[in-house]
Amino acid sequence: MSEGENQRCGKYILRKEEFGSGGFGSVILAEKEEEKENLEKRLYIVKKVLPDKITERNKRNFDNEIKIINYLSHIPNNKFTSIIYDFKKFQDDEEISTDTDAPTPYYAIDYFSKGLLFDYAFLNCLSERQVKVIFRNIILGFQFLHRNGICHLDIKPENIVFDKDFWPVIIDFGLSKKFKDENGQKIFVRPIGGSEQYDSPERWIDQEIDGEKADIFSLGAILIFLVTGYAGFITSKADDKYYKLIIERNYNTYWTKIKQENLPRNFKCLYLGMVEPNPAYRTELEDILRCSWFNEVNNLTKEEEKYIGKQLENIYKERIKTKKEINIEEYVKANNLITRSFTDDENAIFKDKNLKPKKISKDRLEINQSIRINGNFDIVNFMNSLKYKIKSEFGNSFIKAKENLSMEVAFEEIENDDLRKVIGIGDCVMMIELFEYEEGGYLLEFRRTGGRLPHYYHHFLKIQEIITNKIANKNN
């Protein structure tokens, strides 16, 4: 793709700001060409497919997302999802190609200026009343989706954004499906993909499921994150230490284990009903707002709504003012934490090896740390011994081997009371991968895939100490 083409999609001029990337594309701030001279120009978000990410599955998901957003855009009084202004889909007979000169499939939607729900939940900066108002409006959005026959199937705080008035808007419909036929009868759907922390237990079984009930479960997982700042469980699998207690109906132990005994009883009932293991007994979407926990915000006056909007605006301004969105690079430097930092020579080696080391990302879920290891040794045995050492050092951990040279580790909460005050009580999940970047030189890479940031660093530094001692003992 030429430099000019790389800076535009259709009639949209792409700016430098990239908000993130997914499994098949990037999300970039843009402006429309005919509006660029306007004093009050509008900003848009363009999501485009990257040529090297084009697969049959990504084509299917991208075209599905355009189809569903376009369908929802034409429903009257829809303020719950984005309007799609322009798009280029894959053609039905279009072959997969990595040709960089080929036109890029894309779509353009509004720019939602007040950020992701995830940012506010992660910082735990919302009052309980503000959470009630926001979540009430989110539920109204999903009532709209479900009444129009769409289940989302990938609900998480990163897929809900705020517009200029702090109204929550639902985005990212790549995995969504229609679950009603032409006569309005429910169709069970077979989901593909999702997000482990928010997926319902029936998602782990290879069968068709009730998409409405799966969405409600995910909303419950979001709700406790908003209220407490922590996840209610790592996954909804039966072997998850926390969710297992919900499956067993051992609720008192569950609330004690996640350190949330003092939550209001009506909230606990609402949450447990939403994350009920059996979808047949799960709370209906229409019943959620009838829960007494929402009583104080179900009939707010316009003045009260405006006042809460001003409170949210002040929170947003304070975040911008103090940079509380957490720039990872600044956080790492301020806390003297070890980070990846490659020299020009090392970058050249990676380029020759056709490897692409990432820079420290501002996305909290894409942090990369690394430990460089030199010497000739059996790397498979090294990773196996590291796995067993982590298991013995961190008794409360679950390790899943991905390949010979990679593993995913889920750490449970820190038990030490004094340390917990500093680190926090949330769980942490990280990926650990090893690869060679020159003969006798290896890079052990760490990437946080879930949990709170301080908790991740605590475990990373401990593992670094284990590896340093392991190498020192071997050399001696």
Residue pair 28/17 in contact by the 8 Å Cβ criterion = yes
Average pLDDT of the chain to the nearest whole number? 77
Work out the average pLDDT over 308-332.
64
d(CA 175, CA 173) in angstroms, rounded, equals 6
392 pLDDT exceeds 50? yes
Please write down the long-range contacts of 294-297, taking CB distance under 8 Å and 24 or more positions apart.
294/132, 294/136, 296/129, 296/132, 297/129, 297/132, 297/133, 297/136
Largest CA distance in the chain: 75
278 CB neighbour count, 10 Å cutoff: 10
* Average pLDDT value for residue range 90-110: 64
Say yes or no to pLDDT of 62 above 80: yes
Beta bridge partners of 20: 27
pLDDT of residue 456: 74
- Helix ranges (DSSP H) in 22-55: none
Q: Strand runs (DSSP E) across 79-159, as ranges?
A: 84-88, 106-110, 150-151
Q: Which residue from 198, 152, 197 is spatially nearest to 171, judged by alpha carbons?
A: 152
- Contact call for residues 360 and 328 (beta carbons, < 8 A): yes
Q: Which amino acid is at 154?
A: D
The pair of three-digit structure tokens given for residue 108, joined into one six-digit string: 């353009």
pTM: 0.69
Please write the tens of the pLDDT for every residue from 193-243: 777 789 999 998 888 999 999 999 999 999 998 998 777 887 898 888 889
Q: How far is CA 130 from CA 136, 261, 303, 314, in A?
A: 10, 21, 15, 12
What would the pLDDT profile of 27-53 be if each residue is shown by its tens digit? 888 888 777 666 556 889 898 887 766
- The CA R_g of the chain, rounded to the nearest whole Å, is 24
Tokens of 252: 């008192």
Task: Report the distance separating Cα 93 and Cα 468, nearest Å.
Answer: 54
CA 1 to chain centre: 30
Residue 20's pLDDT band, with cuts at 50, 70 and 90, is low
Of the chain, the end-to-end C-alpha distance in Å amounts to 54
Dist. CA 269–CA 290, nearest whole Å: 12
- b/e map 72-111, b = 16+ CB within 10 Å: beeeeeeebbbebbebbbbeeeeeeeeeeeeebbbbbbbb
CA angle 420, 425, 426 (to 5 degrees): 145
Q: 228 or 282: which carries more pLDDT confidence? A: 282
Q: Which of 96-105, 205-214, 261-270, 398-407 is predicted least confidently?
A: 96-105
Sorted by where each starts, the structural domains of the chain and their CATH numbers stand as: 3-110 (3.30.200.20), 117-322 (1.10.510.10), 328-475 (3.30.310.80)
Sign of CA dihedral 187, 190, 193, 199: positive
- The answer to whether the beta carbons of residues 224 and 272 sit under 8 Å apart is no
CA 203 distance to own-chain centroid: 17
Partnered with residue 29 across adjacent β-strands are 45
Q: What is the DSSP string of 296-360?
A: GGTT--HHHHHHHHHHHHHHHHHHHHHTTT--HHHHHHHTT-------HHHHHHHHHTT--PPPP
Query: Can you read off the two tokens belonging to residue 7?
Result: 């800076």
